[in-house]
Amino acid sequence: MDKYRGQKNAAHFLYPPVDPFDRRMLEVGDGHVLYVEQSGNPEGQPVVVLHGGPGGGSSPAMRRYFDPAHYRIILFDQRGCGRSRPHASVEANTTWHLVADTETIRKTLGIERWMVFGGSWGATLALVYAQTHPDRVTNLILRGVFMMTQSELDWFYAGGAGRFWPEIWARFEGLIPEDERDDLIAAYHRRLFSGVIAEEVKYARAWAQWENALASMASNGAGGEPPGDYARAFARLENHYFINGGFLEEDGHILNRMDRIAHIPGVIVQGRYDMICPPRMAYELSSAWPNSEIRMIARAGHALSEPDISAELVQTMDRLAKV
């Protein structure tokens, strides 16, 4: 659940921009072709970056959290978003497809084991990937923890967060007739998959604006108006995953399987005032994972671009580079 915006606010803490030394389009089956890139040190310590959303896509700023002299930085756009194709497609697009894609990328690049770095939905995917392939993960670095539980979806789409942002919630809810407001995820689903592009873009922008408005602690609630193509992919994919419970086996799937990754060291970076993914889940995750450290950032919300979150993540990766 993440739309990365305002990245310049954190620029002071980041490494300078770096260009990839490798870009490719990788066929992963089911008609999907993924954009994959590598930057930094080709012989360095590998780290794969899992973006948020689902549907958010990667961005050049994500390369800048890692010392390019030390790390081999792998970014990719998950199925249906960013530069991957087909755009905005939900066909053969589930958490388990993304786990398999991540493993395909690892094998294709000839990497034995790697660090996994993910925020928001990227943290969800990182945890599920690690629980599926625990022998391939050296470290987990997670930000803005989201674990795809019903309570988290209810918080954000059934009025919990709306109690703090009532005027923004009214705008989001107000596009839906009153008799459909008992399930806004389902109501938006009908419109995001109507088959009428103009209607899909209209509701996609509203879906993205609701999330964007709450991402940063410094937000004034405006949210901005994202480009139509971006919003349509972001909203359709996110809604597709949420209406299907992330395609996980049961509510609480991740916490129920923490024994599988008990040996993997982890760092959790969480904004104290995260309105999208409240700190409770990060705390529950850390409590179930003795080999983890949790860093609760006092003056921060959800976004990767929160300055204190960026600073903590860079410091964490610098520290791990010395281990």
120 is annotated as an active-site residue: yes
- CB contact set of 144 (below 8 Å; sequence gap of 6+): 2, 52, 119, 120, 123, 269, 270, 271, 274, 276, 277, 302, 303, 304, 309
Quick one: the chain helix, strand, coil %, rounded to 5?
45, 15, 40
Q: What is the DSSP letter of 269?
A: E
- Please compute Rg for the chain using Cα positions: 18
Cα gap 221→211, rounded to integer Å: 10
Judge contact between 49 and 118, C-beta under 8 A. Answer: yes
The active-site residue, picked from 89, 120, 216, 310, is 120
The active-site residue, picked from 133, 274, 292, 305, is 274
253 is annotated as an active-site residue: no
Residue appearing with tokens 């008609």: 31
- Say if residue 86 is preceded by a cis peptide, omega within 30 of 0: yes
Cα gap 45→95, rounded to integer Å: 26
The active-site residue, picked from 51, 302, 305, 310, is 302
Judge contact between 43 and 68, C-beta under 8 A. Answer: no
Q: Which residue, among 62, 6, 13, 71, has the nearest Cα to 312 in the 3D structure?
A: 13
Amino acid at 87: H
- Angstrom CA distances, 240 to 80, 234, 236, 318, stand at 11, 10, 6, 36
- CB contact set of 300 (below 8 Å; sequence gap of 6+): 217, 271, 272, 273, 274, 306, 307, 308, 309
Q: What is the DSSP letter of 84?
A: -
179 is annotated as an active-site residue: no
Amino acid at 29: G
- CB contact set of 218 (below 8 Å; sequence gap of 6+): 9, 301
- Angstrom CA distances, 127 to 75, 275, 276, stand at 17, 21, 19
List residues with catalytic annotation: 120, 274, 302
